[in-house]
Each structure stands twice: as C-alpha cells, then as structure tokens.
Amino acid sequence: MSTASKIEWTETTWNPVTGCDRISSGCDRCYALTLAKRLKAMGSQKYQADGDPRTSGPGFAVTVHEDAVREPLRWRRPRVVFVNSMSDLFHARVPDVFIASVFAVMAATPQHTYQVLTKRPRRMRALLASDAFCSRVGAAAGALGVGTAAGRIPLNSRPSELPRTRRGRRGRGEYKTAAPQAV
C-alpha cells in the first residue's frame, strides 16, 4: 500500500523495497530504521524480517515486495511519489532485475512525478549508464504488461528518458535533486 505522506516535499510514498543498512554517518539518524522497529511491533507485514543488528535493525532487513511494484499503475490522479521512503532502491541486495521493474512502472505512469533518493549513487549511475540495465527495463515492462500498451518504453530507451522522474542523494535532512525529467 502507498501512504499519503507528511513529508513536505512529497505527496505519496511507494515502497516496493523495505529495509536497509547504514552506509555512512548520514545514516546515523535514519528515520526509516526507527520507524521499521515500530511497524514490526505493530505487526505490519512488510516489516517482520530483521536486519543485521550492526548496520540495520528489527523489521529493517532488505526485502523486495513483488506485490507492491504495480501500485502506481492503479493511481490515475497525478501524484508526487517518494520511491522507497523506507529503503534505498540501489542497496546491493536489491537485484538489478527488480530495480528494472520499478523503472518500468515509473516509465509507464508519466502522470506521476517520482523522487528517487539514494546514498548509493555509484550503483545508480552505473545502472543508468548501462545498456544491459536499459534492456532489463524493457524486458520488465513486457513482463508487467505495460511496455507495449504504454508504448513509452522502446527497448533501447534509457532511463534518462523517463518522464517526470527526479533523482537525488540523501543528505543530512536535505533533498538534492536533478532537474525534473533529467534522470
């Protein structure tokens, strides 16, 4: 499920992945880690797997949620969507093919504006510059049944051509973004 967000710079959160591991001092006050512990205690289904106590915590193991990938396809009204408010899409344990599915859904829903933040910009850059990843986005679109229907994801298209997507790095409470439509 998506949730209306209280974060001032977004409208909706979409979490096809939950959980993460601290990677830098910028993670010291990770709100998601704290919130996952509470959600686990409340019995929330997506937050029952525990992460490494040295870098993660209760309810915060990196977990992909196949059943959440399609959610934006059902939202007709345009929304600003914070992708993975409870994780980092480019965590090493999130498979390339799953990230490709997330990008395929973003490409198939140009009515929304997506915000993708990461503390792992190297992987983000490497994937977005990769022909193999672009092919995976096309394949994922086909598997999801959105590629041909939407007609927006030619097989050799680059994620940089995705409409209305912003990327950024998580910093100390700040939101840095590239220009819209410039991922």
Q: Which residues bind ligand SF4 (CB under 6 A)?
A: 20, 22-23, 27, 30, 32-33, 87-88, 119, 170
Residue with token string 């994780």:
87
Residue 38 CB partners (closer than 8 Å, separation 6+): none
CB 101 → ligand SF4: shortest distance, Å? 20
CB 34 → ligand SF4: shortest distance, Å? 9
* Residue 24 or 45 with smaller CB distance to ligand SF4: 24
Residue 48 CB coordination number (10 Å): 14
* Residue 13 or 87 with smaller CB distance to ligand SF4: 87
* Residue 8 or 131 with smaller CB distance to ligand SF4: 8
Cβ–Cβ < 8 Å for 165, 181: yes
Task: In whole angstroms, give the CA distance from residue 43 to residue 35.
Answer: 12
CB 170 → ligand SF4: shortest distance, Å? 5
